[in-house]
Amino acid sequence: MLGPVSSSGNRNRDKIAIVATLVVLVCVSWVYLVYISSGMSDMEMSSSMKNNMGMGAMKPGVPMPWGVGDWISMLIMWSVMMIGMMIPSASPMIILFARLKTQKTAQVKSYIPTLIFISGYVVIWSGFSILATIANYILHSNAMMSGMMGETTSSIVGGVLLVAAGIFQFTPIKKACLNNCRTPMGFLMTNWKDGNSGALRMGLEHGTYCLGCCWLIMALLFVLGVMNLVWIAALALFVLIEKMVPNAQWISWISGIGMLIWGGWLFLV
């Protein structure tokens, strides 16, 4: 009797540890975002003053190229933001992976493989963060953003992003990626791979499906404000609802229509 009770207790502790890790990841990410947002004005002003020092030849209103510190801070900001926004919607998949890992391998401990699974997922979104940082630099250096962490000032860029995101909501690839994110059991049963390397590959695969489902939604931050916490929270909630509500293709359709209308309006103003 002692063996099963002990095993069950260890499994419960393992599950609590995994859930606690997810909660800490999300909370720390959001605390960091709030901290960055609160100091954003000072950061923009400091950057502007630094760029203007000794740069009398620069044209007024033309942003200076980023330094190494700017690139690093923006990449960290995007990476942390993706963790804070995407981990909540991935949590059902992560928790189910941990449970199945224990059942399939007859191991009590699933914590390490689950961390590896999460790492694979984070790697994919870190790749997106690199591309987002590059796009951020291009827009900012061409004076097409209100600030390093603001929104685009170009109605054309905003309209293109909104229309592209709206059209994407109706595409087969969106539906396929969303279905894989929406059905954790189906994904894990179909794509199961043993060992820690298998956990990493599964995390990468799930991250890829998640990226395929949501990358244009995340790109809308350039329209809504890269560091606008209200819109960040709204998009994170939208992604969570879109993934969690079963058989809710209508959510993608309605949101797609809204994006198309909004994008079309930007082209006209």
Task: Examine residue 54 and state whether it is found in any structural domain, yes or no.
Answer: no
Q: Other CB atoms closer than 10 Å to residue 28's CB: what's the count?
A: 13
| Predicted confidence band of residue 246 (pLDDT cuts 50, 70, 90) | confident
Residue with tokens 């796009």: 135
Quick check: 45 pLDDT over 80?
Answer: no
- The mean pLDDT of the chain is 87
Q: Which two tokens stand for residue 143?
A: 């004076």
Task: Examine residue 58 and state whether it is found in any structural domain, yes or no.
Answer: no
Task: Examine residue 46 and state whether it is found in any structural domain, yes or no.
Answer: no
Tell me the C-alpha distance between 249 and 269, whole Å: 31
| pLDDT of 53 | 43
Task: Examine residue 71 and state whether it is found in any structural domain, yes or no.
Answer: yes
Task: Examine residue 182 and state whether it is found in any structural domain, yes or no.
Answer: yes
Q: What are 203-240's pLDDT values in tens digits? A: 999 999 999 999 999 999 999 999 999 999 999 999 99
Q: Confirm if 239 and 214 have CB atoms less than 8 A apart.
A: yes
Q: What are 142-164's pLDDT values in tens digits? A: 999 988 899 999 999 999 999 99
Q: What is the DSSP string of 127-163?
A: HHHHHHHHHHHHHHHTT-BSSTTS-B--HHHHHHHHH
Task: Examine residue 7 and state whether it is found in any structural domain, yes or no.
Answer: yes
Can you give the residue range of the structural domain that contains 181?
A: 2-41+65-268
Q: Which two tokens stand for residue 78?
A: 């995007």
Task: Examine residue 93 and state whether it is found in any structural domain, yes or no.
Answer: yes
Quick check: 25 pLDDT over 90?
Answer: yes
Total tally of structural domains belonging to the chain: 1
pTM here is 0.87
Task: Examine residue 48 and state whether it is found in any structural domain, yes or no.
Answer: no
Q: What are 168-209's pLDDT values in tens digits? A: 999 999 999 999 999 999 999 999 998 899 999 999 999 999
